[in-house]
Chains A and B, each alone.
Chain A
Amino acid sequence: MIKPRSVPWFLCAPALVLFVVMVLVPLFLTVILSFHVFDHNTGIKNELTLAHYIEVLSDSYYFEIFWRTIWISALTTLLCLLIGAPQAYILSRMRSPWKSILLLIIIAPLLVSVVVRAFGWSILLGPSGLVSLFADFLGIKLSRILYTEKAVVIALVHIMMPFMVIPIWTSLQKLDPSVQDAALSLSATPFTTFRRIVLPQILPGMLSGSLIVFGLSASSFAIPGLLGGRKLKMVATVVYDEYLYALNWPLGATIAIILLIANLAIMLSYNRVIERKYRRALG
Chain B
Amino acid sequence: MEKGEFVSLLGPSGCGKTTTLQMIAGFVDVTKGEIWLDGQDITHAKPNTRGLGIVFQSYALFPHMTVLDNVSFGLEMRRVPKQERLERVREILNMVHLSGYEDRFPRELSGGQRQRVALARALVIKPPVLLLDEPLSNLDAKLREEMQFELRRIQKTLGTTTIMVTHDQSEALSISDRVVVMESGKITQTDTPYALYENPQTEFISTFVGKTNLLSAVIRRDGQSLLAQFEGFELPLEIAPSSPTGKAVLSLRPEKIKLTEPGKGHVDGTVTQVFFLGDRWLYHLETPLGELLVADSNTGHANIQEGNRFGLTWAGQSMRLLQDATEQQHD
| A201 smallest CB distance to B (angstroms) | 6
Within 8 A of B (CB), among A16-69: none
Q: Which residues of B contact A183 (CB under 8 A)?
A: 62, 73
User: Are A200 and B64 within 8 A (Cβ)?
Assistant: yes
- Give complex CA distance A138, B49 in Å: 44
User: Are A179 and B47 within 8 A (Cβ)?
Assistant: no
Q: Which residues of B contact A101 (CB under 8 A)?
A: none
Within 8 A of A (CB), among B72-116: 73-74, 77-78, 105, 107
A278 within 8 A of B: yes
- Give complex CA distance A236, B121 in Å: 54
User: Are A176 and B60 within 8 A (Cβ)?
Assistant: yes
- Give complex CA distance A176, B59 in Å: 10
Within 8 A of B (CB), among A250-283: 278, 280-283
Known: A182-B54, A192-B77, A281-B105. A187 touches B63 (CB 8 A): no
Q: Which residues of A contact B58 (CB under 8 A)?
A: 176, 178
User: Are A187 and B56 within 8 A (Cβ)?
Assistant: no
B65 within 8 A of A: yes
Top 3 A-B residue pairs of the complex, sorted by shortest distance between their CB atoms:
A186-B74, A182-B60, A178-B60
Q: How does the 8 Å CB contact mask read for B270-285 relative to A, with 1 for contact and 0 for none?
A: 0000000000000000
Q: Which residues of A contact B77 (CB under 8 A)?
A: 186-188, 192
B250 within 8 A of A: no
A197 within 8 A of B: yes
Residue of B nearest to A186 (CB): B74
Selected A-B contacts with CB under 8 Å, 17 pairs: A179-B60, A181-B56, A182-B61, A182-B121, A185-B48, A185-B50, A186-B73, A186-B74, A187-B51, A187-B125, A188-B48, A190-B48, A192-B77, A201-B63, A201-B64, A280-B105, A281-B105
Residue of A nearest to B62 (CB): A197
Q: Which residues of A contact B57 (CB under 8 A)?
A: 178
In the complex, given contacts A182-B121, A186-B125, A187-B74, what are 8 additional A-B residue pairs having Cβ atoms less than 8 angstroms apart?
A184-B27, A185-B53, A186-B121, A192-B77, A200-B64, A201-B64, A281-B105, A283-B107
Residue of B nearest to A180 (CB): B60
Q: Range of interface residues on chain B?
A: 20 to 34
User: Are B48 and A189 within 8 A (Cβ)?
Assistant: yes
State the A residues within 8 Å of B (CB): 176, 178-179, 181-190, 192, 196-197, 200-201, 278, 280-283
Q: Which residues of A contact B47 (CB under 8 A)?
A: 181, 184-185
- Give complex CA distance A184, B28 in Å: 13
- Give complex CA distance A189, B56 in Å: 19
B25 within 8 A of A: yes
User: Are B78 and A187 within 8 A (Cβ)?
Assistant: yes
- Give complex CA distance A99, B200 in Å: 47
Within 8 A of A (CB), among B158-194: none
Q: Which residues of A contact B54 (CB under 8 A)?
A: 181-182, 185
- Give complex CA distance A129, B50 in Å: 54
B119 within 8 A of A: no
Known: A186-B73, A187-B78, A188-B73. A179 touches B62 (CB 8 A): yes
- Give complex CA distance A187, B105 in Å: 22
Q: Which residues of B contact A192 (CB under 8 A)?
A: 77
Q: Which residues of A contact B51 (CB under 8 A)?
A: 187
Residue of A nearest to B49 (CB): A187
| B53 smallest CB distance to A (angstroms) | 7
Q: Which residues of B contact A179 (CB under 8 A)?
A: 60-63
Q: Which residues of B contact A278 (CB under 8 A)?
A: 64
User: Are A282 and B125 within 8 A (Cβ)?
Assistant: no
